[in-house]
Structure 1
């Protein structure tokens, strides 16, 4: 899938109030962009980092710019827009990039389910040889020496999703945790026990209970480390659960 074009390059001045980011564009103009990421964005907001924004011509929007990408360190890009991963995962599944989830005829989004009143990101059905698959999608952008970590902050919501997936498996369906790796420097994915040890324990418990975990990395960078404009998931990344 493609990002809106053209992307506008600038340098990050600051991110604040979670949803706002001040950016200095290449011509020196300073703009305030919408930051579509409610998380901590640990490692994804270095001082004066190169960033790329999309621009909307919708006159009803208060902020025309949306923060999409950041250069976390020279030559390494991350997609911080958490509105993108669900669409990335769905496109990869429908195009046959994810063999673990191939063969399903129907894909629905945001279906209500579970005793804790959740909404599943993707519900796959219509496979003649498989039960329905309940797929929870998570964006991975926290990187350290080639390792990707999730979550980047304590997540009670993420813990709830693991419990819901385990409940679906207990009913005879498939529960799948899908890590969308939106960082070009990540080679493996691990639970971030140093940030949310409860999530790490619960993830391992979920896997023991039959919840499946997959991770796929996106293409973000083109020549010279600049954005390619494509954020398509292209390859599997190992998930390591050992402590």
Structure 2
């Protein structure tokens, strides 16, 4: 996924969850923050941030010309656009549906199959309601040997909290996230394949862990889901100032 127009600036302050002030070429501009999480460890005074500029903001009915989309944490560029993980994940899934069956990434999307058959995603849909849950993606997994189909759901979570190469989710309590995991676990019991994909919005981390210190209920729901057959995936991303794409599998530790 790509952004059309980007500029760099110096972060000044964030008076509330939705806006920030950034110095761009000596001028203080107001920005929409595309992540309502706390992000206190990222948005520190004077840090370098990346903004998406909307040249036709007035015609679009926008209140601001800029969105804050990424931040430099030292030399590490972290995308903090909360909409980016879903866009990147959809592109990734659509690309997987076109890849050759021997692609290593496809192994992460296989339902349990002792025969070792390859299953590819197809018929991908966004924002699908199932009972009292709304999942980010719904799709079919097609067996490339037999043509058999399995219905599947996927929920996507963006990860920006990093310390010493270890990333955690969530960075704030999320009852909505717990409900998503419970809904996915229920879908597994009904015969669906179900996935939660943690899109790590940076490159080169060592390990993903649930953030039990911040919200143990989410970690407990994730571990319960794993026992119930929920597939848990974590991938880092290749992040540039004007783009982000899913890159490589990251080790998961649920303990």
Normalization by structure 2: what TM-score?
0.86
Structure 2: distance between partners of 1:65 and 1:16: 16
Conservation of the 8 A alpha-carbon contact between 2:208 and 2:250: yes
Structure 2: distance between partners of 1:30 and 1:70: 17
Structure 1: distance between partners of 2:93 and 2:154: 11
How does 1:1-243 map onto structure 2 within 5 Å?
1-5=1-5, 7-25=6-24, 27-58=25-56, 59=58, 60-72=61-73, 74-96=74-96, 98-99=105-106, 100-101=108-109, 103-114=120-131, 117-125=132-140, 127=142, 128-184=147-203, 186-221=205-240, 227=241, 229-242=242-255
Q: In structure 1, list runs of 5 or more residues that go unmatched.
A: 222-226
Pairwise CA distance, 1:57: 2.2
Larger Rg: 2
Structure 2: distance between partners of 1:182 and 1:192: 16
- Deviation per CA, 1:24-67: give whole Å up to 9, x if none: 01x20110000111222242212211000011123221101001
Runs of 4+ displaced beyond 4 Å: none
Instruction: Look up the match of 1:224.
Output: none
Matched residue count = 231
Structure 2: distance between partners of 1:93 and 1:231: 14
SS at match of 1:194: helix
Pairwise CA distance, 1:216: 1.2
**RMSD of aligned C-alpha atoms?**
1.5
Structure 2: distance between partners of 1:190 and 1:126: 27
Structure 1: distance between partners of 2:141 and 2:123: 6
Conservation of the 8 A alpha-carbon contact between 1:143 and 1:185: no
Pairwise CA distance, 1:82: 0.5
Structure 2: distance between partners of 1:126 and 1:187: 29
Higher strand share: 2
Q: In structure 2, list runs of 5 or more residues that go unmatched.
A: 97-102, 110-118
Pairwise CA distance, 1:237: 0.9
